[in-house]
Structure 1
Amino acid sequence: MITVVGTGTGAPVPEDVLAAAELVVGGRRHLTATRLPESAEHVVLGPLAPALDTIAEYVEKERPVVVLASGDPGFFGIVRALAERFGAGRLDVRPGVSSVATAFARLGLPWDDAVVVSAHGRDLRTAVNVCRAHPKVAVLTGPGAGPAELGAALDGGRVLVVASALGDPEHERVERVTPAEAAARDWGTAVSVVLCLDEARAVGAVRTVAGVPERPARWALEEGEFAHRDSMITKFEVRALALARLGPGPGDLVWDVGAGSGSVAVECARLGAAVVAVEKTPDGVGRIRANAEAHGVDVRVVHGAAPAALSGLDDPDAVFVGGGGAELPAVVTACARRARRTVVVAVAALDRVPAAREALTGAGFSCDGVLLQSSRLAPLPGDVTRLAATNPVFLLWGERPRARTEGVAQ
């Protein structure tokens, strides 16, 4: 039997469990903080594979093993690896209080509405994009993905709460800092978890489903649900297909270039993505911000003309390009060079289609497209109905080959 004990946030290890152990496995700080039986072999967790091999030798001989882990070992913890290797039936899990629960408890905040993301041994960009998109996020940190790196990647508008050595009565610290302050410090190795908060929305509404916010019941919203100028807005039929091709979700970063009213940007944010809207007109910038606020989402708005305005932005997973001016080929080319997954282009002029398609294929994307021509039901006098045609729009989409989605074309 393998007994997995969650510790490190104040809960002591049961003495009877340790007394029977012939092998004790754990991080150095857990082993140091625990009175271990002298007769048992001790293995310090570093690389996981050698530790699992040692555990296997004891399991095969039915000799008792104790694994010491942080907090709740079934929450982004070692239980997954042990269950995959030895089977869940061989595990006796004694969970402690997770670092996430402890950190929120120290602040007196509920956390059923928090999004929890692990950056331990994973790409930090996913955690960064979740922090950009959601008002309450807990980030499990790791080497090279701690408060400093997280702070360096985030803009203002958020507060970082860095919780270190949780459960240690002498060394525990819970500090509120700005992203810039976090980036400027060396936090050492004792960080347990980092909370990223929009403090104005830190206490949310009553929830039924915990964790990632529920997907909106509707998307491809009516144009009337956005402020726009002279019907200069991506129509909902076009937006529906564009969203399907963009595939925005938690952890993604989406650019909406030539955003206009920001309808695509807002819809992507409603689906959980972090979004940057690039718009060159001052009145357009104001409308985007107003529409984002009206729909309760965060959209970062960049006032400038593409492609120049794109240079300082993080690489996106997906890009929507609206409009069809003479600069369109250069804009699509710049977006395609940086996009990790998909670029979607909406144009009204037939003359612009070949250049946009060439820009996508020239960047190594597969390219497809469609001409959307829809007719909506419209009432007529006499209680009858006619079909009212909307303006036709070409929608092109380019997708980077799957083998290359982990990198970005240079």
Structure 2
Amino acid sequence: MITVTVIGFDGGPLSDPARAALAEATLVVGGRRHLDAVGADIPPAATRLVLGALDGMFEEIARHEHVCVIASGDPGFFGIVRQLREYGLEISVLPAPSSVATAFAAIGLSWDDAIVVSAHGRELRPVANVCRAFPKVAVLTGPGTGAKELGAVLPDRTFVVAQRLGHPDQRIDTLSSHAAAHAEFADPHVLLCLDESRLTSERGWIAGFAGVPGRWALAESEFTHRASMITKSEIRALALAKLGPRPGRLVWDIGSGSGSVGVECARFGAAVLAVERDAESCDRIRANAATHDVTVEVVTADALSVLARLPQPDAVFVGGGGTDVIAACAETPATTVVVALAAIERVPETISILTKTGRTADGALLQSSRLSALPGDAHRFAATNPVFLLWGERR
């Protein structure tokens, strides 16, 4: 029977159980720097396997009875424990503090409210979108998905870059995201991405992202708006269902107005870019985002003048603008484009635009009647203006 012990290493002395496991090992697997660091505790007769990729590791493990795997920090936290278990091995784990915990400890900052994402071997875009949406994010980086690359695509953030944690040459650098885009860092490293304007000392009860908000399609009274110029809650409910906002996705809110759609998407954990040409409306969007404690990046401009320069969206909501704006949004790689229209004449052209860009078009005419009070404790249902909600989806 194969016994596999996974030892978390943080640069410090090994625990007695870890040293005892190594003393019995006939195979020790780990990165070169880990094997060098614990070399004095590895039996001379034991085989050492330098771990670059996982290729060949399991075949070598099958040839031994007592195996130790050395990994950074807590191997059960975005670590090798999952792969070993998936291969069917019975393992015991001796963890050290995770690299994320160590990085936050190095700057004396609590992290129970942090979002932790792994960029190792993954696309950069979803990771960047999480960093846009949340004020405190820890990123486990990889080649091509580190502080340099994230700094080049993110707005102003504070970066804390932790390199070679637990080693004598450990280095902690604090710099702006813009400065990080022009710097070099050792791979891999831990990146803490902080929006210091939104960091709070409020004590929560659940770690990280709290999940779907308890309410959505909020009443118009929960937003600042101008003369009822706001996407009504019934329209917002269906729009949210089609946009599918969630962590890792970027939603454009074009012709944002009060920003109600963008703010609600941000409440679901999505990154949001709101484009609105009216400066006073932009101030309202920022105020509404602050009221609901979310991040919405606001761009004050005519949509057609800036869309080509914005990060590519996963979904788009068009609440204002002509068919030329709709066409420009439909040309993006977004999987879903949702358009709200008041005029029936614009419906056929919008359907045509969505279809010509490879999307399956669908839609609904939404008209609701709301309970309204009358004198003498009587009530009636008062009709709201009808809205055509169209959407085009690309599978």
TM over 0.5: yes
Deviation at 1:57, TM superposition (A): 3.1
1:141 is matched with 141
How far is 1:188 from its partner?
Answer: 2.4
Aligned residues: 389
Counterpart selection for 2:49 from 43, 48, 51: 43
Corresponding residue of 2:161: 162
1:49 deviates by 2.8
Describe the superposition over 1:214-268 as per-residue Cα deviations: whole angstroms up to 9, x where unpaired.
4321111111111111111100000010001101011110000010111101111
Other-structure match for 1:17: 21
2:272 is matched with which residue? 275
Q: Is the 8 A contact 2:258 2:281 kept in 1?
A: yes
CA distance in 2, matches of 1:270, 1:263: 11
- Partners of 1:298 and 1:227 in 2: CA distance: 16
Give the AA of the match of 1:357. Answer: I
Determine helix, strand or coil for the equivalent of 1:241.
helix
2:243–2:337 contact (8 Å) kept in structure 1:
yes
Provide the residue aligned with 2:34 in structure 1.
Answer: 30
Q: How high is the TM-score relative to the length of structure 1? A: 0.92
Structure 1 residues 365-380: aligned runs within 5 Å: 365-380=359-374
Deviation at 1:121, TM superposition (A): 0.4
Q: TM-score, normalised by structure 2?
A: 0.96
1:385-408 per-residue CA deviation (whole Å, 9 max, x = no partner) reads 10100000000111112xxxxxxx
Q: Which amino acid aligns with 1:155?
A: P
What whole-Å deviation, never above 9, does each CA across 1:127-157 have from its counterpart, x for those lacking one? 111111111100000111111011111111x
Code of the residue aligned with 2:48 in structure 1: it is H
**1:271, 1:204 → 2: CA distance?**
22
- The 1:378–1:368 alpha-carbon spacing in structure 2 relative to 1, beyond 3 Å, is same
**Superposed CA offset, 1:360-380 (max 9, x none):** 111101111000010000011
Offset, 1:172: 0.9
Matches within 5 A, 1:171-320: 171-189=169-187, 191-320=188-317
Paired residue secondary structure (2:361): strand
- Report percent identity of matched pairs: 57
How many angstroms apart in 1 are the aligned matches of 2:301 and 2:77? 43
- CA distance, structure 1, for counterparts of residue 227 and residue 130 of structure 2: 34
Give the match for residue 84 of structure 2: 82
Match of 1:351 in 2: 345
2:360 and 2:305 map into 1 onto residues whose CA distance is 25
Match of 2:6 in 1: 4
| Structure 1 residue 203: Cα displacement | 4.1
SS, match of residue 331 in structure 2: helix
Q: Is the contact made by 2:316 and 2:334 (CA closer than 8 Å) also made in structure 1?
A: no
Aligned partner of 2:326 in structure 1 is 332
User: Aligned in 2, Cα 1:257/1:374: closer, same or farther, shift over 3 Å?
Assistant: same
Check the 8 A contact 2:142/2:189 in 1, yes or no.
no
* Runs (5+) with no aligned partner, structure 2: none
Runs of 4+ in structure 1 displaced over 6 angstroms? none
Pick closer, same or farther for the CA change 1:295–1:9 going to 2, 3 Å: farther
| Preserved CA contact (<8 Å) 1:9 1:98 | no
Tell me the CA shift for residue 201 of structure 1.
3.7
CA 105–203 in structure 1, closer or farther in 2 if over 3 Å, else same: farther
2: CA distance, partners of 1:306 / 1:142:
35
The change in CA–CA distance for 1:11 and 1:299 in structure 2 (over 3 A counts) is farther
Tell me the distance in 2 between the aligned counterparts of 1:257 and 1:322.
6
How far the C-alpha of 1:31 sits from its partner, in A, is: 0.9
1:334 is displaced (CA, Å) by 1.6
Q: How does 1:116-127 map to 2 (within 5 A)?
A: 116-127=116-127
Report the more deviating stretch, 243-252 or 333-342.
Answer: 333-342
Cα deviation for residue 317 of structure 1 reads 0.6
Conservation of the 8 A alpha-carbon contact between 2:129 and 2:249: yes
Gaps of 5+ in 1: 402-410
